[in-house]
Amino acid sequence: MNRTGVTTWAGAALAWCVVLLAAAPAGAAAAEKRPAKPAAQKIEKLACVLGTEDSHARIAVEVLNGRVNRFAYYSKWKPRTCSVEVSRGDAYSSWADHGSTTAVLLMEEMGLFWIDHGHGRYHFTFSDIDRMRYCGMGGKINGYLTIRRANPKCDLDGLMENGQVEE
């Protein structure tokens, strides 16, 4: 402003240039600090079955970036069926990863799954899974199931042995 309180064009232009110059680096820095796009997630879906129409076990597994994210186990001993579905972050389980092993603790002392993964396979250990909760009959489910990539047949041990129920 001059003595009369009127801003001169030269002074206004100078002030505007200072503002533009000061803002330019900040704008460039803000553009450089934009959040990076999240890394692409690799989702793989596996499934296998073993047995006959009246007596079989099957599992479907969703693998997210190399780790089991979700699985659903189903078995049938005609006329009985058993169904367990577990997902990371659900209200019914807690998951902990330890190297190539994942521990899945079912809430309310309903049992534990150990999942060992590597070399194109996922080996599930069923440990004291509450049969009443998931199958409607007494006892515990104990045994092993292995699913392999590109193999439609599961490997089982102890899960479907003549429909025996361990007490």
Model confidence at 50: pLDDT above 50 = yes
Q: Are 81 and 75 in contact (CB under 8 A)?
A: yes
Query: Which alpha helices (H) appear in the chain, and where do they start and end?
Result: 9-32, 131-135
For the stretch 68-98, pLDDT in tens is 999 999 999 888 899 999 999 999 999 999 9
User: Strands 67-77 and 121-130: what pairing?
Assistant: unpaired
Angular region, 140: left φ>0, alpha ψ -120 to 50, beta rest: beta
* Beta-ladder partners of 67: 64
pLDDT confidence of 162, banded at 50, 70, 90? low
| 158 compared with 10, residue with greater pLDDT | 158
Q: What is the pLDDT of residue 20?
A: 42
